[in-house]
Structure 1
Amino acid sequence: MLVAAAVCPCPPLLVPEVAAGAAAELEPLRRACDEALAALLAAGPELVVVVGTGPEAEVWTEGGAGSFHRYGVPLVARLPSGGVDGPELPPALTVGAWLLGRAGAAVPTHACAVPADAPADRMLGLGQGLAGLADRVGLLVMGDGSACRSVKAPGYLDERAEGFDAALAAALGSADLAALGALDVALAAELKAEGRAPWQVLAGAAEGAGLTARLGYREAPYGVGYLVASWS
């Protein structure tokens, strides 16, 4: 059963070594992620599952690691309580592993990559399955909002982006499972909202769990919507 969840964005710039001289700009976001992770671990999960997008559906149950070498930083992030065998974690899960390491997590941890274009009903069903993996399951859900909030954003400016992120913030901040489950797959893709599929996994996992939510961060510092939420 799902007992807690932390929702965090996954820009590599969260890692100070990657951000370098710009590290201070995202310090408020790091603090919000730290608080969400602390709340997740304080709930006493027996198992934590990190969910984020990847090029294909894939799971890691015996540990795993990802690196920040592609960003010119000789840093490796490992999932807690496991080895490093198997394929490398994709970027979103690597940032999740880094956050867990930063939090000092020692709980058994799995990771689950989902394709960005995965159908909503499949993600909801996956979430239900993840929630049944243990009596007390915690989710770390990694994903960015729209990437079209300004002319300098990765997806340039799209007038629909601000409304999309506002509705998303309302859903994540109130544990509105119906709203998350109904996120428009095509619109999310057009707005380059990488977190859509992981958020729908969360919606499926939280069904019947009676969790309440708190929104801890909502900004778009680089034209990308970053949101942090705690569910417990």
Structure 2
Amino acid sequence: MKTLILALLTCCAARAAALEEAVITDPGAETAPAQEEVKAPEPPKPPFKPSPEARLAALNLALLLERGGEIPADRLAALAPQLAAFNSAAEQALGAELLADAAAERSKKALQKVRTALQVWFGDNGGKYPPDLAALVPSYLPALPELRLPGHPLTDKVTVINTKKYDADLAKAVTDSGGWLYFSGEESANRGLLVIDCSHKSPAGQEYFKY
């Protein structure tokens, strides 16, 4: 009798242990999700405060642009080497990435500005576009915006295409002058179209002439 009871107890103990192990190792059993480490937010960068020298340089350059016509030519010519040195140092400090970002932003704004002027001209002139962008100045634009793109000097050069030769492939008209490319041909499917004459890519990876 004792032997039978001992055997039953042993069997029950073995089954209980097996069930406990099954619960522990059950792959379907729910486990508490791991706690993700919460990173503290980075402190905000303090606002940029230009140095007194930078503020003075900005004021002098603004005055030079505004009142340069009143300065004798010989004094302006003497200043040119210093301005060139300043521009070189400033561009080196700014870095290629920041300069490229700024060029892309400025060129898009300038393009939109001139395209808007073209549409106003179109509405004011019986559905016709001007033969050249010079016709927009000064009634529709105070001056044609200058472009300063990577790999190109500052320019407001306009290349006018008055043929439909490039209707099938506009890209073939791009000469990479860094200026403006305007299609004025009356029979062209691109009539009135203005693009940036630059095949370089912006920081976003798009050629400038595709804007």
TM over 0.5: same fold?
no
Give the structure with higher Rg (CA).
2
Greater per-residue helix proportion = 2
Bigger relative contact order (CA 8 A; separation at least 6): 1
Greater per-residue strand proportion = 1
Alignment TM class, shorter chain as reference: under 0.3
